[in-house]
Amino acid sequence: MPTIKQYVNLPAAATGVNGPVRQLRVTPNQVPNVAPGDRVDWWIEPDPGNESLAFQSLTERTRLAHGAAPGVTVGLGHHFDNTLTFTHIGGDKYTIKASRDGQRAQFLATDEFQTWRKLYYTVWYSGAQTLSTYNNIDPRFVGEFARHFIELERRAVLPALATVDSARVDFQSLSQQAASSPTFDWPFMNGGPNALLNLRVGGAPPGGGTLTDKPLHMAFLLVPNCYYTQLQRHAFPTANNAVGSVTTFRTVWRDPMNGNNFMWTAQASWPAAGATDVRAYFTFTPGSPNRVNWNLTTLPGLTAHLATPGNTYNLTFSFIWKSSINGYSWGNFCVVGCTGPGRSETAVLGTFVHEMGHGIGQTVRQEPQYSAAGVALATQLANPRWYTDQFGGQGPHCNTNAGLTPDPSTTSGQRYDWWPALGAGRLCTIYHAGHSNRDDGVFCPVCAPRIRRVRLDTPAQTSRSWNHFG
Ligand SMILES: [Zn+2]
Ligand SMILES: [Zn+2]
């Protein structure tokens, strides 16, 4: 009897392999010792390897609409119906059995069902090298998610609008950042000049574009190298020294889109002097950390103003830094850098799986737990390996086989790194950075069961903004 793959996260169809509901029907000639007018009993036989019910509320468990019940006569025929509703969890197996009521020893076994989830994806590439890399890693990408009962169905592979060596994948333009806008404008994917994609974010029609089956459809952009830029702002409203500096572990950048200037804004003012553009008084000193310096001693009037004890001036400025990235994800969009210095195809695979992992919200901090009766317990199950960007990177990550080491560039002053004392095991593909000891493209044993349990249905994917792009 072949196992039927049931795609429990897809929109429910009336019956069939899409959706969490199956209509079941048996006739008297199929069930031993049953005649029209008898009652037929129904039950579920779960596989011993199925996920624990402790992760499923009563209404999330695989269940039949009813147990023993009489059938119905229609015309010359007679049949017994039931409705089977599946859990959202992937990789569970169930066989449904039916017998004459009270005679379970003689039963009819229906097909064996296995729960799967399906997601769609479309790939855009920039240049032949990225296409080649993608073609070489795609089977392993799809294979890793299949290992966790998520079937990835590719819809298209398309060239990007431009072929570039290095892609600026700013999620906010500098002017939006300067305006403190809470919205992202994604200038590289608005279809305009220099754009790599046209997913029509913020365009017309809103939410238009090319992706079908949203919110179950992920868009990938593959570029050779990628980076983004950001403004770092400072304000010293009562400065009393014409000379000073700030530090950053980011790469201060002379931005071609800003006339090769690393300063975006800089203004000085005091009661006798209106706001003056002082960008030309700034320099930066590369190092670890980098230092952004100002020296306003030659700014007309300032030195004389500060000569009076108690006098201060107002100094505000913002400068540009750039950050190279292996990839990132937001909603139903991921970007992956493919050929950066020293990057192997397996490392690119690691990023591909990593960003998709973020995209499905796989790295969970905690999960609800339920009593045998399906009632939510007060305490959720914490993921012992979860951490977020105070230890490096951005977004939630997994620290399997990693330990904390000092790192002044992170918010916490520490960073997770491979830790041989924890054993010979490798880092998870959801570790926050590329690493020679990362098991690229493979989720660790802590993450693996959580992938099977994570919800991938339409409301869950909408909550992850998988309806945002395209
Ligand atoms: Zn990440
Ligand atoms: Zn992990």
CA of 235 to the centre of ligand 2 (A): 40
CATH architecture of the domain covering 118-227+325-359:
3-Layer(aba) Sandwich (3.40)
CA of 399 to the centre of ligand 1 (A): 12
Q: What confidence score (pLDDT) does residue 193 get?
A: 82
CA of 357 to the centre of ligand 1 (A): 8
- Ligand with minimal distance to 357 CA: 1
Residue 14 confidence class, pLDDT cut points 50, 70, 90: low
Lowest mean pLDDT among 70-74, 253-257, 386-390, 400-404: 386-390
CA of 260 to the centre of ligand 1 (A): 30
CA of 190 to the centre of ligand 1 (A): 24
% the chain with pLDDT above 70: 97
pLDDT tens readout for residues 118-139: 999 999 999 999 999 999 999 9
CA of 358 to the centre of ligand 1 (A): 7
Task: Name the CA dihedral angle for 339, 340, 341, 346, rounded to a multiple of 10 degrees.
Answer: -60
pLDDT tens readout for residues 208-255: 567 889 999 999 999 999 999 999 999 999 999 999 999 999 999 999
Helix (H, G, I), strand (E, B) or coil at 103: coil
CA of 58 to the centre of ligand 2 (A): 28
Lowest mean pLDDT among 5-9, 184-188, 238-242: 184-188
CA of 328 to the centre of ligand 1 (A): 7
61-84 mean pLDDT? 96
Q: What confidence score (pLDDT) does residue 83 get?
A: 95
CA of 378 to the centre of ligand 1 (A): 30
Helical (H) or strand (E) element with 139: helix 128-146
Fold of 3-117: Immunoglobulin-like (2.60.40)
374: left (phi over 0), alpha (psi -120 to 50) or beta: left
CA of 470 to the centre of ligand 2 (A): 30
CA of 130 to the centre of ligand 2 (A): 27
- Ligand with minimal distance to 448 CA: 2
CA distances (Å), 359 to each of 200, 278, 323, 364, 394, in order? Answer: 20, 43, 21, 12, 13
375/451 Cα distance (integer angstroms):
22
Q: Determine how many CB atoms are found less than 10 A away from the CB of residue 253.
A: 19
Q: What confidence score (pLDDT) does residue 204 get?
A: 54
Residue 376 confidence class, pLDDT cut points 50, 70, 90: very high
Query: Above 90 in pLDDT, residue 201?
Result: no
CA of 120 to the centre of ligand 2 (A): 23
- Ligand with minimal distance to 428 CA: 2
Q: What confidence score (pLDDT) does residue 207 get?
A: 54
CA of 228 to the centre of ligand 1 (A): 15
CA of 327 to the centre of ligand 1 (A): 8
Helix (H, G, I), strand (E, B) or coil at 126: coil
Query: Above 80 in pLDDT, residue 312?
Result: yes
379/7 Cα distance (integer angstroms):
30
Please tell me what DSSP assigns to residue 77.
E
Q: What confidence score (pLDDT) does residue 140 get?
A: 98
Query: Above 80 in pLDDT, residue 203?
Result: no
Q: What confidence score (pLDDT) does residue 341 get?
A: 64
pLDDT tens readout for residues 400-452: 999 999 999 898 999 999 988 888 899 999 999 999 999 999 999 999 999 99
CA of 350 to the centre of ligand 2 (A): 12
pLDDT tens readout for residues 265-291: 999 999 999 999 999 999 999 998 999
CA of 146 to the centre of ligand 2 (A): 17
Lowest mean pLDDT among 9-18, 180-189, 402-411: 9-18
Query: Above 70 in pLDDT, residue 109?
Result: yes
CA of 385 to the centre of ligand 2 (A): 7
CA of 399 to the centre of ligand 2 (A): 7
Task: Sketch the domain layout of the chain as residue ranges.
Answer: 3-117, 118-227+325-359, 233-319, 366-463
CA of 400 to the centre of ligand 1 (A): 14
8/117 Cα distance (integer angstroms):
6
Cis amide linkage into residue 215, ω under 30° from 0: yes
Residue 470 confidence class, pLDDT cut points 50, 70, 90: confident
Task: List the end-to-end C-alpha distance of the chain, in Å, as a whole number.
Answer: 41
Q: What confidence score (pLDDT) does residue 370 get?
A: 98
CA of 212 to the centre of ligand 1 (A): 26
Domains 3-117 and 118-227+325-359 agree in fold: no
Mean pLDDT of the chain: 93
Q: What confidence score (pLDDT) does residue 202 get?
A: 57
- Ligand with minimal distance to 354 CA: 1
CA of 387 to the centre of ligand 2 (A): 11
Residues measured by CB to lie within 5 Å of ligand 1, the ion: 395
Residue 175 contacts by C-beta under 8 Å, 6 or more apart in sequence?
none
| CB-CB contact of 338 with 223 (8 Å) | yes
Helix (H, G, I), strand (E, B) or coil at 174: helix
Q: Can you say how many angstroms the Cα of residue 10 is from the centroid of all Cα atoms in its chain?
A: 19
CA of 246 to the centre of ligand 2 (A): 37
Residues measured by CB to lie within 5 Å of ligand 2, the ion: 398, 400, 428, 430, 444, 446-447
385/381 Cα distance (integer angstroms):
12
Cis amide linkage into residue 32, ω under 30° from 0: no
Residue 40 confidence class, pLDDT cut points 50, 70, 90: very high
pLDDT tens readout for residues 342-357: 789 999 999 999 999 9
CA of 385 to the centre of ligand 1 (A): 14
- Ligand with minimal distance to 451 CA: 2
Q: What confidence score (pLDDT) does residue 454 get?
A: 95
